Amino acid sequence: MITSDRAPTRTDDSGRARLPDRSGYTTAGDGVRLAYDVYGSGEPTLLFLPSAPIVHSRQWKGQVPYFSRTHRVVTYDGRGNGLSDRPTTPEAYHDDLMTSDIASVMDATGTERAVLIGLCVDGVWRSIRLAAEHPERVLGIVAFGIGVPRIGPVQEHYKTAGAQFDDELPVYQGWGNYNRHIWTSDYERFARFFFTEITSEPHSTKAIEDATRWAVDGSVDAMLAEREAAFPWDLEGIEATVGNVRCPILLVHGTEDTCQRPERAQRLAELTGAPLVLVEGADHMIPGRHPVLANLLIRDFIRSLPEASNDGR
Amino acid sequence: MATVLAPESDPPVDTTRARQPDATGFIERDGVRVFWERYGEGAPTLLLMPTWSLFHSRHWKFQIPYLARLFRVVTFDGRGNGRSDRPEESAAYADTEYVADALAVLEATDTHRAVVIGMSMGAGYALRLAAEHPDRVLGAVFIGATIPILDRDPATPEIQVDPSFEEPPADDSDWGTYYNANYWRRDYPGFAAWFVGEKVFTEPHSTKQIDDGIGWALETDADTLVTLEYGSYLSPPEDWQREPADGRALLFARRVRCPALVIHGDDDHISRWAVGERLSRELHAPFLTIAGGGHAPQARWPVLVDRAIRDFVRGLEVSP
């Protein structure tokens, strides 16, 4: 396996409000090692998912201390960042692997069933897929910043910047920073730009600074590989998968989401019949930027689950 | 006395508040109306003092909702900002007037004794109240105290307002440029942005506190603050014994008999950390230093400050 030469790291570990009770690694089917943390006790287990290799599990810092008072909480660093391996081949970021990583972490932590909580594509689409294919393992899903590909339009800036991602540009301004040459020459500049764009609420300096640091913990080579990973689903396949989900779902999306357009959330709500909470004025990073709101929504969702969800793992 | 009255009509209810007051009202002294609020039913009562009228009582927005769950909380807008009047004579802004307003608010809210809590100049008002009215004060908390307590040079005349305040700036230092009556009259919002944004909140990630603070500052105006600047502040009565090097505030601190707590950031750019440290020594009071903290820790480090206040109040022996 080809991996990035950067040592796995998470720089933001010193000021934690709550330390994990147990940490460990599991090895995925292709040999990639995934780092997980387990906190607290109490049913059901809440599994907080990765969003994308641009960040790692500290993205849930606003949730972990609160929920680990009352629940067993599991987080893991997705492949490509944090303490997990950083493979640099596109195949390592195939949808099948990214989905089976969730089950690997559940197996390694002795978690038979869990409520999955996620943001963006790796958090939302992969949890939908796991729930469709392994309904016995998923008690419910709380989905933020709805990242389900193809069911709604892509943001224009991704189309424009993506089309010239490999090009050398005369100037790299705005979404022009979403470009291979900026990634490889000044990744922190890209990260700071990106998180400033998708955390557009006033008074977000701490959230932006945190996320930029988590990005720099990661690997540009992993990011480039992930970008080229195949996504072997057409719209029909995605809608069929969504249609197979039977567990309760809560959808939460900001009206100002710069990463995922609200149409995707609306469409997923239509397809699943799930309630959609549209947060007025919020951008993409709701759990990080609006933790109290996110936590109360998650808490109420867990309380609303059928009683049977709460006995045994 | 010529007085600019606050607007008669009630402002719309601020629905963004975490906690609405249980009662509100005005006291009136010498034609000046002062607006107060009362929250909660617990004991004892905490009196959250006004500060420099650049701000009004919303500078306690992070204390009120939490402390009102545990205690009874009374606060008021200092004359010169908020819903209180803006008198046009400097004498109306003497610290003794703020202390008298505090006593009137205690009467109006049927409060016999209270824990008095003040920030910045409000710590000076709280200090005077505690020193001169010990029967009304159960305990006192001084946050970012801005008081003349450090030893002074007896050879230098003791003046409260430097004459350069009304002159063109003598130098191009930021204090010389911005802390100036002409600058305030010419560009009051610019002054507020500098003072709040660069001097009060020096910590990273303070944009909300800065926006709030500038917003409160813009509820008053330059002329009011220039008038207030000449109001007497912590001038001790003539007959109090004083060594030449004693700071004026020291004389008040020596007369405080109640338990106290002193909180000060070690990166305070308005009032040096040494001021809080000296005050705590003089009062034999516990001293909480906020590492990296600026001038207004109650706004920037509210959880820490709220818990310190809670523990201090719980530790008081309160007779019914």
Chain B closest CA to A258's CA: distance in Å? 22
Average pLDDT over every residue of A168-172:
96
Average pLDDT over every residue of A76-95:
97
* Dihedral sign for Cα atoms in the order A158, A164, A167, A168: negative
Query: So what's the pLDDT on residue B172?
Result: 85
Angle formed by the axes of helices A235-243 and A120-133, to 10°? 60
- A202 and chain B: CB distance < 8 Å anywhere? yes
* pLDDT level of residue B168 (50, 70, 90 thresholds): confident
Record: contact B211-A206, CB cut-off 8 A: no
**Whole-structure pTM value:** 0.88
Q: Is the pLDDT of residue B266 over 50?
A: yes
Record: contact A203-B207, CB cut-off 8 A: yes
Query: So what's the pLDDT on residue A289?
Result: 97
Yes or no: say if B45 and B71 are a contact pair by the CB < 8 Å rule: yes
Amino acid at A92: A
Record: contact A205-B205, CB cut-off 8 A: yes
| Cα angle for residues A223, A225, A227 (degrees, 5° grid) | 70
Phi first, then psi, for residue B45 (nearest 5°) are -85, 135
Q: Is the pLDDT of residue A2 over 60?
A: no
Of A148, A106, A104, nearest to A123 by C-alpha is A148
- A188 and chain B: CB distance < 8 Å anywhere? no
- A205 and chain B: CB distance < 8 Å anywhere? yes
b/e A282-295 (16+ beta carbons within 10 angstroms → b): bbbbbbbbbbeebb
Query: So what's the pLDDT on residue B14?
Result: 79
Angle formed by the axes of helices A120-133 and A95-108, to 10°? 70
Q: Is the pLDDT of residue A6 over 90?
A: no
Q: Which one of A66, A199, A205 would you mutate to disrupt binding with B, by most B Cβ within 10 Å of its Cβ?
A: A205
* Cα separation values, B141 from A109, A120, A255, B192, B286, Å: 49, 47, 43, 26, 10
Closest residue of chain A to B208, computed from CA coordinates: A203
Instruction: Quote the CA–CA distance of A84 and A31 in Å, as a whole number.
Output: 11
Average pLDDT over every residue of B144-165:
93
Chain A closest CA to B207's CA: distance in Å? 5
Number of residues in chain B: 320
**Percent of chain A surpassing pLDDT 70:** 95
Enumerate the residues of chain A whose CB falls inside 8 A of the CB of residue B205: 205-206, 209
Query: So what's the pLDDT on residue A309?
Result: 56
Enumerate the residues of chain A whose CB falls inside 8 A of the CB of residue B204: 205-206, 209
Residue carrying structure tokens 């807008």: B77
Chain A closest CA to B292's CA: distance in Å? 15
Q: Is the pLDDT of residue A5 over 60?
A: no
Q: Is the pLDDT of residue A174 over 70?
A: yes
Yes or no: say if B185 and B226 are a contact pair by the CB < 8 Å rule: yes
Amino acid at B210: I
Q: Which helix (H) or strand (E) holds A217?
A: helix A205-217
**Percent of chain B surpassing pLDDT 70:** 96
Chain B closest CA to A201's CA: distance in Å? 11
Average pLDDT over every residue of B230-251:
96
Query: So what's the pLDDT on residue B5?
Result: 62
Query: So what's the pLDDT on residue A3?
Result: 60
Record: contact A206-B205, CB cut-off 8 A: yes
The SS3 assignment for B201 reads coil
* Cα separation values, A90 from A80, A215, A245, B320, Å: 11, 19, 28, 72
Enumerate the residues of chain A whose CB falls inside 8 A of the CB of residue B208: 202-203
| Cα angle for residues A249, A255, A259 (degrees, 5° grid) | 85
**Of A57 and B9, which is predicted with more confidence?**
A57
Q: Is the pLDDT of residue A54 over 50?
A: yes
Average pLDDT over every residue of B59-65:
98
Closest residue of chain A to B212, computed from CA coordinates: A203
- A209 and chain B: CB distance < 8 Å anywhere? yes
Q: Which one of B203, B205, B207, B301 would you mutate to disrupt binding with A, by most A Cβ within 10 Å of its Cβ?
A: B205
Instruction: Quote the CA–CA distance of A70 and B103 in Å, as a whole number.
Output: 46
Query: So what's the pLDDT on residue A194?
Result: 98
- A281 and chain B: CB distance < 8 Å anywhere? no
Q: Which residues of B touch A (CB under 8 A)?
A: 204-205, 207-208, 211
Query: So what's the pLDDT on residue A10?
Result: 81
pLDDT in tens, A235-265: 999 999 999 999 999 999 999 999 999 999 9
pLDDT in tens, A175-203: 999 999 999 999 999 999 999 999 999 99
Yes or no: say if B76 and B21 are a contact pair by the CB < 8 Å rule: no
DSSP 8-class letter at A76: E
Record: contact A205-B211, CB cut-off 8 A: no
- Which neighbouring-strand residues pair with B289? B264
Instruction: Quote the CA–CA distance of A38 and A105 in Å, as a whole number.
Output: 10
Chain A closest CA to B38's CA: distance in Å? 27
Helices (H), chain B: 64-70, 95-108, 121-132, 174-178, 181-186, 188-194, 207-217, 222-229, 248-253, 273-283, 297-300, 302-314
Enumerate the residues of chain A whose CB falls inside 8 A of the CB of residue B300: none
Q: Is the pLDDT of residue A82 over 70?
A: yes
Closest residue of chain B to A204, computed from CA coordinates: B205
Enumerate the residues of chain B whose CB falls inside 8 A of the CB of residue A203: 207-208, 211
Instruction: Quote the CA–CA distance of A255 and A262 in Å, as a whole number.
Output: 6
Average pLDDT over every residue of B78-86:
98
Closest residue of chain B to A209, computed from CA coordinates: B205
CA dihedral A238, A242, A244, A245 (to 10 degrees): 150
Mean pLDDT of chain A: 95
Mean pLDDT of chain B: 95
Q: Is B237 exposed, middle or buried (0-12, 13-18, 19+ CB in 10 A)?
A: exposed
Instruction: Quote the CA–CA distance of B191 and B193 in Å, as a whole number.
Output: 5
Enumerate the residues of chain A whose CB falls inside 8 A of the CB of residue B207: 202-203, 205
Instruction: Quote the CA–CA distance of A61 and A83 in Å, as a whole number.
Output: 16
Q: Which helix (H) or strand (E) holds A144?
A: strand A138-146
pLDDT in tens, B15-46: 789 999 999 999 999 999 999 999 999 999 99
Check whether the bond before A65 is cis (ω within 30° of 0): no
Interface TM-score (ipTM) > 0.90? no
* pLDDT level of residue B3 (50, 70, 90 thresholds): low
Closest residue of chain B to A208, computed from CA coordinates: B205
B31 conformational bin, left if phi > 0, alpha if psi -120 to 50, beta if neither: left
Chain A closest CA to B269's CA: distance in Å? 22
Residue carrying structure tokens 């947060």: A279
Amino acid at B17: R
- A27 and chain B: CB distance < 8 Å anywhere? no
The SS3 assignment for A196 reads helix
Query: So what's the pLDDT on residue A184?
Result: 97
Q: Which helix (H) or strand (E) holds B32?
A: strand B32-39
Record: contact B211-A209, CB cut-off 8 A: no
Record: contact A202-B204, CB cut-off 8 A: no
Q: Is the pLDDT of residue A311 over 60?
A: no
